[in-house]
């Protein structure tokens, strides 16, 4: 099984547009949206069935029983997340700030602090027309990394497919790191801007730490030709393959809003993706093998 992950560092460079196009071109049987706090892939892939939905239970949070609390304030002093505040002459826990560490339970002399486990989002698994795992984090909740791990697990449990395409989230933090584990190849979608270049370098550093190979494609390439060649040169210098350029194309907004992938029509962006898609598939077949061998030999 080969797993392709689409990332970008900077948001809005076109991860989901590229992911949707690849799913269409590959007639992929297995894919997931790992951008759990801003999921969009479902707007392009049109699942036909009602999903198998389960609540996502993150970490337990804690609550103070105001009947038992005597207001000594030890929990308040010990909490490192500013999650405890005074209420009248008692204390209470601010749910959005509680990390669920339970340190407060260790110091409460009245044993007035109890855990409560509430769902902090929903996991959806579609089976038709293909295996599609997605999720929606309840806004303001933590544990997005754990949720990404569950999204991937649910896909793997259901599907025996030889290839998985994962649409990732922006940034370099816990959801991105969670999406990276077990990935064979990362396609980083960037754009010709200083921000795009700088954010690309940060996602490359993150991937390097986990020893996952990365290839790059440049979206909206003609918006700033000068920076486009700067990014080409940057990739060449550090030995990261640039698999292709996609031009800025006003059709993307129209097709996206119609729920269609850009490769469903004859348009400049769609045509460019059609050209770079087979290159990515070739990398996925070869680069993934080398990496797997590397890892297996280090365990022997």
Partner 1 sequence: MKSLNIAVLSGKGGAGKTMVAVNFAALANQAVYADCDIEEPDGYLFFLPEIVESTPVIVKVPEINVDQCTGCRKCVDFCRFHALGLIRGKAVSFPEICHSCGGCVLVCQNGSITEKPRIIGVVEEGNRDNIRILSGFLTPGEESGVPIIRAIIRKFRPKESLRILDCPPGCSCPVTESVSHADYCILVTEPTTFGRDNLQMVHELIRLLGKPIGVILNKSVDGYDPSEEYCLRENLRILGKIPYDEELALISSQGKIAVRGSSRWRTLFSAIFQSVLEEAYRETALDSQR
Give the per-residue contact string, 153-192, with partner 1 (x = CB under 8 A; - = no): ----------------xxxxxxxxx-------------xx
Tokens for 73?
Answer: 């304030």
Question: Smaller CB distance to partner 1: residue 2 or 20?
Answer: 20
Q: Choose, by CB under 8 A, the member of 1, 11, 238, 292 that binds partner 1.
A: 11
Question: Smaller CB distance to partner 1: residue 106 or 233?
Answer: 106
Q: Choose, by CB under 8 A, the member of 193, 251, 260, 271 that binds partner 1.
A: 193
Question: Smaller CB distance to partner 1: residue 79 or 163?
Answer: 79
Q: How far is the CB of 79 from partner 1 (least distance, A)?
A: 8
Q: How far is the CB of 49 from partner 1 (least distance, A)?
A: 20
Q: At which residue do the structure tokens 């979608």 appear?
A: 189
Question: Smaller CB distance to partner 1: residue 74 or 274?
Answer: 74
- Binding flag, residue 249, partner 1 (CB under 8 A): no
- Binding flag, residue 119, partner 1 (CB under 8 A): no
Opening angle at CA 168, ends 132 and 238, nearest 5: 140
Q: Choose, by CB under 8 A, the member of 55, 129, 209, 278 that binds partner 1.
A: 209
Stretch that binds partner 1, among 84-92, 125-133, 152-160, 249-257 (CB under 8 A): 249-257
Question: Smaller CB distance to partner 1: residue 37 or 54?
Answer: 37
The residues that touch partner 1, with contacts defined as CB under 8 A, are 8-13, 16, 35-40, 43, 59-60, 78, 80-81, 96-97, 99-103, 106-107, 136-137, 139-142, 144-145, 169-177, 191-196, 198-199, 202-203, 205-206, 209-210, 223-224, 227, 250, 253, 256-257, 259
């Amino acid at each position: 099984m080969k797993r392709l992950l689409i990332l970008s560092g900077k948001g809005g460079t076109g991860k989901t547009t590229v992911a949707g196009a690849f799913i269409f071109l590959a007639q992929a049987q297995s894919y997931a949206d790992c951008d759990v706090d801003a999921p969009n892939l479902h707007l392009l892939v049109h699942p036909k069935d009602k999903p198998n939905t389960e609540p996502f239970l993150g970490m337990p949070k804690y609550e103070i029983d105001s009947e038992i609390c005597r207001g000594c304030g030890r929990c308040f002093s010990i909490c490192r997340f500013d999650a405890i505040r005074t209420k009248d002459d008692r204390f209470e826990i601010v749910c959005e700030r509680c990390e669920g560490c339970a340190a407060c339970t260790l110091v409460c002399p009245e044993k007035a602090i109890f855990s409560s486990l509430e769902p902090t989002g929903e996991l959806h698994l579609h089976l038709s027309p293909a295996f599609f795992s997605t999720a929606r984090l309840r806004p303001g909740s933590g544990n997005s990394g754990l949720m990404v791990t569950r999204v991937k697990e649910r896909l793997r449990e259901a599907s025996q497919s030889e290839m998985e395409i994962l649409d990732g989230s922006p940034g370099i933090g816990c959801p991105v790191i969670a999406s990276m584990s077990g990935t064979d190849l990362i396609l980083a979608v960037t754009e010709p801007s200083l921000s795009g270049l700088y954010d690309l370098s940060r996602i490359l550093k993150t991937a390097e730490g986990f020893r996952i190979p990365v290839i790059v494609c440049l979206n909206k390439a003609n918006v700033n030709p000068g920076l486009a060649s700067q990014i080409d040169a940057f990739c060449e210098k550090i030995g990261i393959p640039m698999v292709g350029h996609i031009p800025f194309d006003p059709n993307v907004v129209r097709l996206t809003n119609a729920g269609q992938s850009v490769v469903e029509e004859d348009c400049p962006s769609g045509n460019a993706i059609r050209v770079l898609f087979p290159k990515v598939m070739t990398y996925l077949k070869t680069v993934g093998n080398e990496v797997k061998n590397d890892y297996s030999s280090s365990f022997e």
